[in-house]
């Protein structure tokens, strides 16, 4: 059970990184994710068998970033509200995805070569289960390192500044609209890449796979913050990836209690709500204590 | 250095709320001139700054900076040659980023986007050096998040960021108004030091008449989108705060008289 949870967590950790970029660094809850995740899946599946599986993943990344770029365009140039822009792109992508899958909602690629098959062949001494997990770990670590380094560059700094204080960015002669688009492209690129890896791992693409993905991403980011605290971006990225694994552990435990499989969405939503509510509850509890003390003192007088 | 040619800006045109914020202003600033602007709220001072820095398009007129026509250039482009500071200390810095990260964003102003390291070792030494000139002890706190600094410290840092790449024009929009008197004095002194060191052409909005006269080389007074007073040199040196107030009310009364005359003509 723990291995499955670990695998699931690692698979979606890239999605969590993408959500961290838009939700925490850019300060925009981006709902493009549901569409761009499936877009990564569909493009990776439809190109698989034709080009090398690694190239399929690159295509998944690029198509995801294109979706992000479009959302960015809607936000910056057409000036549509960020949440609505994401919903619009996500909705449109549903048709695009079906179009890519040629109208079939579920396409399998069991016979095709995937990165996982290649990797298991290299490490044939290892049980397939473990080699697949090892590859996921490698993917996850490489992506975290690359993104963490990217956010140390000037461009990365500009992205962080746009999320932090947009008016300051403008007076530093940075084109904030351009930076925003770029950040959304990167964020959704990672989401698309995650979709691509998931499709190769499961050897199929499903048009309905994306629903609830935003919540998975948000839950990972928030659980990560609960574990590591809000500190630097590097730690934030690592904590989001770890948070994703923890999230699937929690889901796995919930399954052990004989829950029906369709309760998973409710559980995920509840996890996010509880995690988001904790800080507020903490504050009102301490406020309550202070008030009670004050009342006591008033009575003494 | 800076030349404004008949610029006008009207907000909410053709509605009952129509407001002429800038009314056909022409102005020339020489290189290295330090001009302070006085005026009541709504006189058009900040609008003038917004027009120069390209926050919005003016209805008419041209703006030249250092011989270059900058009319209609968007904000992030003019920011390359214009440094700007606001009244609100929160506006000029990114709170969740460290001091060195903030400085490096401002420092990379003129260079192109790049994937090179955000804060280089060489930069760090330079940042320490210029931070030490502030005398606020910030040079030892490069890794501190800016959100943890006080308003005065943040404003001093913003000033440094606005001038780290010497701008052709520095716009200061009441940058000490939100600070306590002692801190305001300190920030103003730092402002003066930086401006004179680099001989920066500066425009400073202030509500403090004493400051307007003691700092800089020229004082302008605005009212209803027009420049009503422009003094420099000998005349300015002999001017006192009381004298300026008197002159201001005189000018205002005169305008009022003009309005009355206008109305009577209409009747």
Run of H or E residues at B247: helix B241-266
ipTM of the prediction = 0.80
Q: Does B72 touch chain A (CB under 8 A)?
A: no
Tokens for B173?
A: 């929009």
Low-confidence ranges of chain B (pLDDT < 50): 256-267
Q: What residues in A contact B91, CB-CB < 8 Å?
A: 165, 167-168
User: Cα-flanking dihedrals φ and ψ of residue B147, to 5°?
Assistant: -60, -20
Is A31 in contact with A90 (CB distance < 8 Å)?
yes
Residue A57's nearest CA partner among A142, A181, A159 is A142
Is A278 in contact with A225 (CB distance < 8 Å)?
no
Task: Give the one of B93, B115, B162 whose C-beta lies nearest to A153's C-beta.
Answer: B115
Q: What residues in A contact B83, CB-CB < 8 Å?
A: 171
Is A164 in contact with A185 (CB distance < 8 Å)?
no
Q: Does A165 touch chain B (CB under 8 A)?
A: yes
Task: Please indicate whether, in this complex, the C-beta atoms of B94 and A171 are within 8 angstroms of each other.
Answer: no
A interface test, pick of B115, B119, B154, B157 with most A CB neighbours within 10 Å = B115
Q: What pLDDT, on the 0 to 100 scale, is given for residue A135?
A: 93
Mean pLDDT of A174-194: 94
Task: Give the one of B79, B94, B102 whose C-beta lies nearest to A173's C-beta.
Answer: B79
CA distance B262 to chain A (A): 43
Task: Please indicate whether, in this complex, the C-beta atoms of B108 and A154 are within 8 angstroms of each other.
Answer: yes
Q: What pLDDT, on the 0 to 100 scale, is given for residue B112?
A: 63
In terms of pLDDT, which residue wins out, B239 or A106? A106
Task: Please indicate whether, in this complex, the C-beta atoms of A164 and B75 are within 8 angstroms of each other.
Answer: no
3-class state of residue B65 by DSSP: strand
The Cα–Cα gap between B127 and B129 comes to: 5
Residue A199 has pLDDT above 90, yes or no: yes
User: Residue A299's pLDDT band (boundaries 50, 70, 90)?
Assistant: confident
Task: Please indicate whether, in this complex, the C-beta atoms of B75 and A155 are within 8 angstroms of each other.
Answer: no
Q: What residues in B contact A169, CB-CB < 8 Å?
A: 76, 94, 105
CA distance A150 to chain B (A): 7
Mean pLDDT of A280-300: 85
The number of angstroms, rounded, from the C-alpha of B78 to the middle of its chain's C-alpha atoms is 14
pTM attached to this predicted model: 0.85
**Minimal Cα distance from A154: which residue of B?**
B118
A and B: number of Cβ contacts within 8 A: 83
**Minimal Cα distance from B53: which residue of A?**
A171
**Minimal Cα distance from B100: which residue of A?**
A157
**Minimal Cα distance from A177: which residue of B?**
B76
Q: What pLDDT, on the 0 to 100 scale, is given for residue A301?
A: 60
Q: What residues in B contact A164, CB-CB < 8 Å?
A: 94-97
Q: Does A175 touch chain B (CB under 8 A)?
A: yes
Q: What residues in A contact B119, CB-CB < 8 Å?
A: 152, 157
Q: What pLDDT, on the 0 to 100 scale, is given for residue B260?
A: 42
For A171-183, write each residue's pLDDT tens digit.
Answer: 888 888 999 999 9
Q: What pLDDT, on the 0 to 100 scale, is given for residue B110?
A: 66
Q: What pLDDT, on the 0 to 100 scale, is given for residue B261?
A: 40
Q: What pLDDT, on the 0 to 100 scale, is given for residue B113?
A: 58
Task: Please indicate whether, in this complex, the C-beta atoms of B97 and A155 are within 8 angstroms of each other.
Answer: no
Q: Does A160 touch chain B (CB under 8 A)?
A: yes
Say which residue the tokens 């006008």 belong to.
B8
Give the least confident one: A208-217, A219-228, B97-106, B206-215: B206-215
Give the least confident one: A51-55, A295-299, B21-25, B63-67: A295-299
Task: Give the one of B77, B79, B97 whose C-beta lies nearest to A164's C-beta.
Answer: B97
DSSP codes joined into one string, chain A: -HHHHHHHHHHHHHHHHHHHIIIIIS----TTHHHHHHHHHHHHHHHBTTB-HHHHHHHHHHHHHHHHHHHHHHHHTS---HHHHHHHHHHHHHHHHHHHTTT-SEEE-TTS--HHHHHHHHTTTS-HHHHHHHHHHHHHHHHHHHHHHHTTBHHHHHHHHHHH-HHHHHHTT--HHHHHHHHHHHHHHHHHHHHHHHHHHHTEEETTTTTTHHHHHHHHHHHHHHHH-S--HHHHHHHHHHHHHHHHHHHHHHHHTT--GGGHHHHHHHHHHHHHHHHHHHHHHHHHHHHHHHHHHHHH-
A interface test, pick of B84, B97, B127, B171 with most A CB neighbours within 10 Å = B97
A interface test, pick of B118, B149, B162 with most A CB neighbours within 10 Å = B118
Run of H or E residues at B27: strand B19-29
Q: What pLDDT, on the 0 to 100 scale, is given for residue A140?
A: 95
Q: Does B182 touch chain A (CB under 8 A)?
A: no
CA dihedral A54, A60, A66, A68 (to 10 degrees): -120
Q: Which residues contact A250 (CB under 8 A, 6 or more apart)?
A: A223, A267, A271
Task: Please indicate whether, in this complex, the C-beta atoms of B109 and A172 are within 8 angstroms of each other.
Answer: yes
Domains of chain A: 2-300 (1.10.3470)
What is the SS3 assignment for A168-222? Answer: HHHHCCCCHHHHHHHHHHHHHHHHHHHHHHHHHHHCEEECCCCCCHHHHHHHHHH
CA distance A13 to chain B (A): 24
**Minimal Cα distance from A172: which residue of B?**
B106
CA distance A244 to chain B (A): 24
């Amino acid at each position: 059970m723990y291995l499955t949870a670990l695998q699931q967590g690692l698979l979606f950790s890239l999605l969590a990184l993408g959500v961290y970029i838009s939700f925490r660094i850019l300060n925009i809850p981006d709902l493009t994710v549901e569409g761009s995740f499936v877009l990564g899946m569909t493009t990776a599946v439809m190109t698989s068998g034709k080009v090398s599986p690694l190239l399929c993943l690159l295509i998944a990344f690029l198509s995801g970033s294109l979706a992000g770029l479009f959302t960015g365009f809607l936000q910056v140039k057409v000036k549509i509200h960020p949440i609505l822009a994401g919903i619009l792109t996500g909705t449109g992508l549903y048709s695009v995805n079906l179009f890519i899958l040629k109208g079939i909602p579920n396409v399998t690629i069991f016979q095709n070569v995937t990165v996982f098959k290649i990797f298991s062949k290299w490490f044939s001494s290892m049980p397939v289960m473990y080699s697949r997990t090892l590859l996921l770990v490698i993917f996850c670590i490489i992506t975290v390192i690359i993104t963490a380094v990217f956010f140390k560059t000037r461009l990365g700094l500009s992205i962080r500044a746009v999320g932090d204080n947009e008016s300051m960015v403008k007076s530093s002669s940075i084109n904030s609209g351009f930076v925003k688009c770029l950040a959304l492209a990167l964020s959704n690129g990672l989401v698309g890449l995650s979709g691509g890896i998931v499709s190769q791992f499961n050897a199929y693409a499903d048009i309905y796979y994306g629903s609830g993905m935003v919540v998975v991403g948000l839950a990972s980011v928030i659980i990560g913050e609960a574990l590591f605290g809000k500190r630097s971006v590097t730690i934030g990225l690592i904590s989001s990836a770890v948070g994703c694994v923890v999230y699937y552990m929690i889901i796995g435990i919930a399954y052990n209690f004989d829950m029906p499989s369709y309760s998973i969405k409710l559980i995920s939503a509840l996890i996010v709500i509880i995690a988001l509510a904790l800080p507020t509850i903490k504050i009102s509890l301490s406020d309550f204590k202070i008030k009670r003390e004050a009342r006591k003192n008033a009575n003494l007088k | 250095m800076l030349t404004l040619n008949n610029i006008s800006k009207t907000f909410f045109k053709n509605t009952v709320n129509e407001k002429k914020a800038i009314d056909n202003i022409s102005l020339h600033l020489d290189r290295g001139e330090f001009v302070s602007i006085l005026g009541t709220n709504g006189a058009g001072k900040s609008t003038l700054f917004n027009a120069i820095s390209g926050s919005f398009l003016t209805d008419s007129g041209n703006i030249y900076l250092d011989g270059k026509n900058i009319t209609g250039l968007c904000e992030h482009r003019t920011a390359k040659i214009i440094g700007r500071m606001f009244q609100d200390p929160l506006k000029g810095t990114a709170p969740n980023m460290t001091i060195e990260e903030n400085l490096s964003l401002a420092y990379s102003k003129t260079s192109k986007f790049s994937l090179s390291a955000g804060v280089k070792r060489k930069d760090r030494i330079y940042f320490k050096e210029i931070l030490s000139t502030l005398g606020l002890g910030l040079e030892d706190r490069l890794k501190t998040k800016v959100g943890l600094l006080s308003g005065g410290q943040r404003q001093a840092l913003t000033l440094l960021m606005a001038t780290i790449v010497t701008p052709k024009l520095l716009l200061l929009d009441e940058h000490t108004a939100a600070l306590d008197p002692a801190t305001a004095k300190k920030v103003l002194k730092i402002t003066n030091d930086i401006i004179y060191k680099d001989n920066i052409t500066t425009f400073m909005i202030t509500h403090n008449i004493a400051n307007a006269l003691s700092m800089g080389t020229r004082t302008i007074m605005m009212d209803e989108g027009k420049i009503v007073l422009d003094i420099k040199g000998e005349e300015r040196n002999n001017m006192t705060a009381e004298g300026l107030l008197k002159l201001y009310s005189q000018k205002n009364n005169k305008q009022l008289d003009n309005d009355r005359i206008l109305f009577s003509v209409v009747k």
